[in-house]
Amino acid sequence: MMKAASDFLCFGPYRPLYKLTTLLFFVAGSVHAQASGDAKAGESIASKGVPPAVAACSSCHGAKGEGLAAFPPLAGQGAAYLQAQLAAFASGTRKNAVMEPVAKGLKAQDQANVAAYFASLPSGIASPKSVPVPDPKDVGAWLALRGRMNDGVPACASCHGPHGEGVGSNFPAIGKLNAAYMQSQIDAWKQGSRGPGPLELMLHIAKKLSNQDVEAIAQYYAKQATAAPATSK
């Protein structure tokens, strides 16, 4: 399986789409079977929590899951991704003192329901009609859209979409993550406090990103969000 992934990692930008299709296939296959969720039941958890132990998700992640500063956006993330993160917080493979008790307080079916609810909301990040051509002097744009081939860093866009809008249910949107949160996750992979995720894809990429790289990428995405107000997704 890693063969397919490493194969994928060494190519240029936007090389044939079938590569991404192949990867999606392997990633989907590597994610454990998950219960399917009821978005309606999830909405109640999001707005009211599960008293007394679990606070309303909206109190930290925003009324519509739009996120706020250190609280990442949940709206529009794939249900499989959200559910996998909740399971990881509960089991401790993704370490976070705030989310651990929240996730542990939710039954597997609650996790599936709340994941289905947030997945049903719009992320507010529009996919561009055509793939932008990056300015070689803009480090963030170049890393996001082309990667750094001589160092084996693939374009973020190849898995997260050109505006970081996310692809399928397992490749999350990253276009609205603030720089500090993005950095904290890259550090978590480097330090082993966040599990490697599907095919260890991000573990390998994180190790090759400097703090300056991450800052530049986050700034690039923030610019896209202001330049092209979202209409879809």
Nearer to ligand HEC, 139 or 205 (CB): 205
Binding mask 129-158 for ligand HEC (x = CB under 6 A): --------------x---------xx-x-x
Q: Distance (Å, rounded) from C-alpha 121 to C-alpha 191?
A: 32
Helices (H), the chain: 2-9, 17-30, 39-48, 58-61, 79-91, 99-104, 108-120, 139-145, 157-160, 179-191, 201-206, 211-227
By CB under 6 A, the residues from 72 to 101 that bind ligand HEC are 72, 74, 81-82, 84-86, 96, 98-99
Question: Counting contacts by CB under 6 A, is residue 183 touching ligand HEC?
Answer: no
Output 125 or 156, the one with its CB closest to ligand HEC: 156
Which CB, 208 or 228, lies closer to ligand HEC? 208
102 binds ligand HEC (CB under 6 A): yes
- Please give the angle made by the CA atoms of 210, 216 and 222, to the nearest 5 degrees: 140
Residues 135, 215, 160, 127: is their CA dihedral positive or negative? Answer: negative
The whole-angstrom separation of Cα 190 and Cα 180 is 15
**Shortest separation between residue 57's beta carbon and ligand HEC, angstroms:** 3
How many other C-beta atoms can be found within 10 angstroms of the C-beta atom of residue 227?
Answer: 9
Tell me how far apart the alpha carbons of residues 157 and 69 are, in angstroms, rounded to a whole number.
23
Report the SS3 class of residue 150: helix
Contact between 171 and ligand HEC per CB under 6 A: yes
Give the nearest distance from C-beta 228 to ligand HEC in angstroms: 19
Closest CA to 74 of 59, 91, 53: 59
The binding track of 1-40 with respect to ligand HEC, each residue x by CB under 6 A or -, is -------x--------------------------------
User: Applying CB under 6 A, which residues contact ligand HEC?
Assistant: 8, 45, 54-55, 57, 59-61, 70-72, 74, 81-82, 84-86, 96, 98-99, 102, 106, 114, 143, 153-154, 156, 158-160, 170-172, 174, 177, 182, 184-185, 197-198, 201-202, 205, 209, 217
